[in-house]
Amino acid sequence: MARGISVVEDHGAQSTELLKALFPYSGNAVLLGMTGSPGAGKSTLVDQVAHAYRKQGKTIGIVAVDPTSPFSGGAILGDRIRMQSHHADPGIYIRSMATRGSLGGLASTTADVATVLDASGRDIVMIETVGVGQDEVDIVRLADVTVVVLVPGMGDDVQTIKAGIMEIADIFVINKSDREGAERVEREIRAMQAITPSRANAARAGGPEALAVRNDNWTPPIVKTVASTGAGTAELLAAIEKYRAYLQQDGRARARRIDNWRQRIAEMLRDALFQRVLAYYLSEGEATRYAAEVAEHKRDPYSLVEKIIDNLGKPE
């Protein structure tokens, strides 16, 4: 499994062949997305949830997406500390993913890694991201259930809770809920839920249609946890089960997976196209020469991009 994941992360021809072969075995795991801002205690919460599922005899795969480092490959300290608590239990597998290179592919690669874990027979595949960038939103949107983790003490800035995060949440968690301000966060969520445009409106404004189907008659519940002690973990699992039961009604689960795949196929297509162009049409040397010409204002980049694309094969 670990070797398979490495192959997938490396994106070679081998990667595609492996994924094609594994795809028929995927689709059985529950994909659980968990997102929240840095410092919200997501990792600890994910660990608690994983242990709780283990007690039910389920096997877990965790993909922890670690954004931000295009150069050195991710967090320096966090992962090492984390790995230690699980290494004794083969029923929990954690893979930390850093962003590989700065252009695209993060959401696709994460989804591919989740596919490997899913096809390997893991019952639950958890995808953990820092939920503030667009890439991270794309990632958690690929899950069956999306949990948004908030935390008291950041509420003095109106930017903290954003509309987009509100809209992707199927379940809210207020972690570190023993701290001052937990009630305030809860009130803020309720207030945002009251003023956020309804799902139906959001869908009409350009969102995928499936979304209107997805969360009609579902008001995301708010679960309070203290991940460091495990308080609230059972309630979170119950909320996840309740949401899954809701999804099973009226074809919602299928509508959601179709919508997710639309999104994912589009992203895969975009990445694959770009790789193809880089491989065949734009050498390193050319790219640097073009960049220098643009930087020196000898050429405008908009005409340049049109020229490169027009030379590909004149699609019309």
Range 64-83, binding its own copies (CB under 8 A): 66-78, 81
Binding window for its own copies (CB under 8 A); candidates: 116-124, 231-239, 240-248, 282-290: 282-290
Binding window for its own copies (CB under 8 A); candidates: 50-58, 88-96, 118-126, 285-293: 285-293
**Position among 51, 123, 246, 290 found at the interface with its own copies (CB under 8 A):** 290
> Could you tell me the two tokens for 193?
């839920």
Contact track, its own copies, 187-226, x by CB under 8 A: -----x--xxx----xx-xxx---x---------------
Interacting residues with its own copies between 86 and 115 (CB under 8 A): 99, 101-104, 106
> What is the DSSP pairing of strand 171-174 with strand 222-224?
parallel
Residue 14 makes contact with its own copies by CB under 8 A: no
Interacting residues with its own copies between 256 and 275 (CB under 8 A): 257-270, 272-274
C-beta closer to its own copies: residue 56 or 219: 219
Rounded (5°) CA angle 30-31-35: 140
Smallest distance from its own copies to CB 56, Å: 26
Smallest distance from its own copies to CB 180, Å: 13
The residue assigned the tokens 């994912």 is 264
Binding window for its own copies (CB under 8 A); candidates: 32-40, 116-124, 219-227, 235-243: 32-40
Distances from the Cα of 96 to the Cαs of 14, 64, 78, 110, 199, in angstroms?
Answer: 21, 5, 10, 10, 33
The DSSP annotation for 238-297 comes to: HHHHHHHHHHHGGGHHHHHHHHHHHHHHHHHHHHHHHHHHHHHT--HHHHHHHHHHHHTT
Q: Which of 126, 136, 5 is nearest to 62 (CA)?
A: 126
Please, what's the b/e burial string for 156-193 (b: 16 or more CB within 10 A of its CB; e: otherwise)? eeeeebeeebbbbbbbbbbbbbeeebbeebbebbeeee
Contact track, its own copies, 153-182, x by CB under 8 A: xx-xxxxx-xxxx-x---------------
Contact track, its own copies, 239-258, x by CB under 8 A: ---------------x--xx
